[in-house]
Structure 1
Amino acid sequence: MSRSLLLRCYPAYRRNFPLNSQVRLLTSSRGWSSSKNDQKTKNGEWHKASTSWTVCGIALGIISSIIGANNYLKKRDDVSLFPKVLAATALNATSRRKDFNVIADVVEIAAPAVVYIEIKDTRRYDYFSGQPLTASNGSGFIVESDGLILTNAHVVINKPYSTVLVKFADGRTFPGIVEDVDSVSDLATVRISCKNLPTIKLGESSNLRSGEWVVALGSPLALSNTVTAGVVSSTERAANELGLVGRDINYIQTDAAITFGNSGGPLVNLDGEAIGINSMKVTAGISFAIPIDYAKGFLNRNKEKIRRGGQKVSPPPRRYMGITMITITHDILLELRHRSHPVPSHITSGVLVWKVILGSPAHTGGLNPGDIVTEINGKPVKTSTDIYDALKDAGKDISIVIYRGLEKHHITVRPEDPEEN
């Protein structure tokens, strides 16, 4: 490396290499030789200094890197090699569930008072188990802690030689007694011998509004165990709109599914109060419940009968067919067709079968849920009253014309006479 280059690169060494020494180096060989020796000495010193500066530079670089990285991490304390889990903690998830799972809260409040009601026919026994066959089943809910249960009359058919079993969610089973029946309103009460039972608070259906969320609760032990939710479509659906003759009731219409499992169970508001009794389903999205205010009147009349020493009230004797039905109206036909339920275009009236009891005469004769009855014993069927009238003649088979979808069928049913049981 030339001395001029060294002077340009390291100006700090200029005092060791004066500029006039360059002249002496060029004019005197002795001076050149002497300067050459001096250069070697100076070069050695420069190499030592260069090495020292290099070591110091490396050390300073390492220290600076450590200090800089430390300051960076302090400023960016949210940066981590692995993702943080604060947003996925169980606490936050639980909080969201508590905020939005209102239906679960309603079920937790009301479900302990919901029971499964089963009617056993003691004349018929299962071939394999040897147990009496089930003639009917459904739901109910406890309204008094001493064992009073409210349900639908069509669940408790109250046939002779039949027993009533009431089952709880915890597996306990009690024999029940049908205490009162109102066939017109389709309400009934069952009594069991048990104390300190959980009850459902009865709300006020008069305060119910269209658009409110409701929950339909069903049998806790049946295979059709159900908890369904929906909104109230109407709070005053008149009985004549549904073709229910002789009923002075304004039904609650909801899109919460009412099935065989929760028929007779409570329709509950978001406060956990019973505001209706699940009664019937016409088609998907169209279900009806009896307002709890009407049921309160029925319960009060039942208490008055007991206070006066009255006995349990049985429905008037009638031949047993084993179906639950609803009279078809213009509005119901429109809803059925709107929901893709096939109905022949010429049908303007009749009776819709929405439930068939397993093992009943109707089931044996071939009736299915969804069938539309248009004729019975050669006479046109306009309302459900026409079918009740046909059940008055004892000992006779009933010829029925039905439409199953778009197909016409003729079937024969032999109802059971009360005196034969």
Structure 2
Amino acid sequence: MSRPWNTVIAFVLGFAACALIVRWMGYQPPSSSKQLVLATLDAPVRQMGSVPGADAIAEACARIEPAVVNIDTFMRPRRSLRLEDFFGPEEAMRGSGSGVIISSDGYIITNHHVVRGADEIVVSLADGRRYLGKPVGADEQSDIAVIKVNARGLPTAELGDSDKLRVGEWAIAVGNPLGLGSTVTVGVISALNRRKLLVDNGRYLEIAIQTDAAINQGNSGGALANIYGQLIGINTAIAAPPGGGSIGIGFAIPVNHVKKVVRDILVQGGTVKRARPWLGFYFDAVRPSLMKRVGLPDLNGVVVDQVVPGSPADRAGLRADDVIRAFGDRPVRSTQDLLEEIMKRQPGDRVHIKVWRGGKQITLSVTVGTSPDVIQ
């Protein structure tokens, strides 16, 4: 065979081999490639197998979300005696928040600061139904309020047990952030038994659950639920930078505390003034310098900074620089320990306090008093 024919045959065979290689690598002509994409778009979705726990959060949301409502408030402007105010535009001030239905006939828990001063309250359910809300009562210090709508057969939240919570458990926040409507965010329980948290305008939270589930403006009064869809807290406040927004530090009032407050509101009605335990002294953690100065054997305890004159602590003989080492039967190692023990007491209870003073330990007896209206 002549050399030109050898060259032609080699070229043809090489081209065919290249074509086979390209085909084998998945190349399609443009028209075939488009058809392949269209076929992919129309292909049936492969059904995934069941993964244990994969739907737990969705199932919890399905239980709690229908019982969480959006609350819109309207406050009529207060006219002054200035002439221009009589002829200027009259626009109602609006606010928004959330609430949780606790009875099928329309009792709803929310935060006091959500409905405070409202002339009109509009409650919107997750299914679109809307009702006028009427205030039943509130506890300003606890920041809990109860409102009522005239309805029957409403979905309700199942109440959980916040005393059994553990750090690291799932936490599901449901509410109306920024007025967007029902929204779910998920995180964990970050901490328990946060005490005396200053939130705004001198207002303290007596006790709170900390969570990193995103909570924003409008979530106030909404639900914090566990993985079973049970209500474990009422979302109330966040720690936020100057510009606002969630940074993963939110606080909810534990449902067990909410139960006590709501019971008082329903029994007493109106604005509730609950008797709170009070001893009347300021305190802080023990520092190494104090430990050396007073001869403490370790850093455990709480130092008394100041005693309010005439208070139960003053009458019991407590002094500044005393170090409280035990309250009742419980050793006191931190300010948190002492706060928890004080909050367990009722006005009138008598408690023995072990105090380090003058290089030795003494025992004082104090009768718990009732907290005045101002925060100590």
TM-score by length of 1: 0.47
Candidates 180, 183, 196, aligned match of 1:223: 180
Aligned to 2:257: 294
- SS where residue 93 of structure 1 aligns? coil
Q: Which has the higher helix share?
A: 1
In 1, Cα distance between equivalents of 2:153 and 2:177: 19
**1:263 Cα deviation after fit:** 1.5
1:165/1:222 Cα in 2 relative to 1: closer, same or farther (>3 Å)? Answer: same
C-alpha contact (below 8 Å) 2:173/2:185 kept by paired residues: yes
1:220/1:253 Cα in 2 relative to 1: closer, same or farther (>3 Å)? Answer: closer
1:221/1:143 Cα in 2 relative to 1: closer, same or farther (>3 Å)? Answer: farther
Aligned to 2:68: 114
C-alpha contact (below 8 Å) 2:178/2:216 kept by paired residues: no
Aligned to 2:105: 146
The reply on whether 1:268 has 2:225 as its aligned counterpart is: yes
Candidates 76, 95, 102, aligned match of 2:56: 102
Aligned to 1:48: none
**1:248 Cα deviation after fit:** 7.0
C-alpha contact (below 8 Å) 2:77/2:93 kept by paired residues: no
Aligned to 1:313: 271
In 1, Cα distance between equivalents of 2:130 and 2:200: 37
**1:246 Cα deviation after fit:** 7.4
The amino acid of 2:258's aligned partner reads A
Q: Which has the higher strand share?
A: 2
**1:247 Cα deviation after fit:** 4.9
* Structure 1 segments unaligned to the other structure (5+ residues): 1-84, 125-129, 306-310, 316-328, 331-421
In 2, Cα distance between equivalents of 1:147 and 1:134: 25
Instruction: Render the CA deviation track for 1:76-108: whole Å, top value 9, x for unaligned.
Output: xxxxxxxxx9xx985742634x74132211111
The amino acid of 2:63's aligned partner reads I
Alignment of 1:81-92 (within 5 A): 92=47
State which structure, 1 or 2, has the greater radius of gyration over its C-alpha atoms: 1
C-alpha contact (below 8 Å) 1:116/1:220 kept by paired residues: no
- SS where residue 256 of structure 1 aligns? coil
* Structure 2 segments unaligned to the other structure (5+ residues): 1-39, 79-88, 241-246, 274-283, 286-376
**1:223 Cα deviation after fit:** 1.6
Identity value in percent: 38
In 1, Cα distance between equivalents of 2:215 and 2:202: 22
In 2, Cα distance between equivalents of 1:209 and 1:301: 28
Aligned to 2:297: none
**1:208 Cα deviation after fit:** 0.4
C-alpha contact (below 8 Å) 2:70/2:181 kept by paired residues: no
C-alpha contact (below 8 Å) 2:138/2:265 kept by paired residues: no
Instruction: Render the CA deviation track for 1:108-153: whole Å, top value 9, x for unaligned.
Output: 11111111111112449xxxxx996452210001011110000011
In 1, Cα distance between equivalents of 2:272 and 2:92: 22
Aligned to 2:211: 254
In 1, Cα distance between equivalents of 2:188 and 2:59: 17
- SS where residue 115 of structure 2 aligns? coil
Alignment of 1:107-256 (within 5 A): 107-123=61-77, 133-159=92-118, 162-219=119-176, 222-223=179-180, 225-240=182-197, 247=204, 249-256=206-213
C-alpha contact (below 8 Å) 1:167/1:221 kept by paired residues: no
**1:222 Cα deviation after fit:** 3.1
**1:215 Cα deviation after fit:** 0.2
**1:312 Cα deviation after fit:** 3.4
- SS where residue 106 of structure 1 aligns? helix
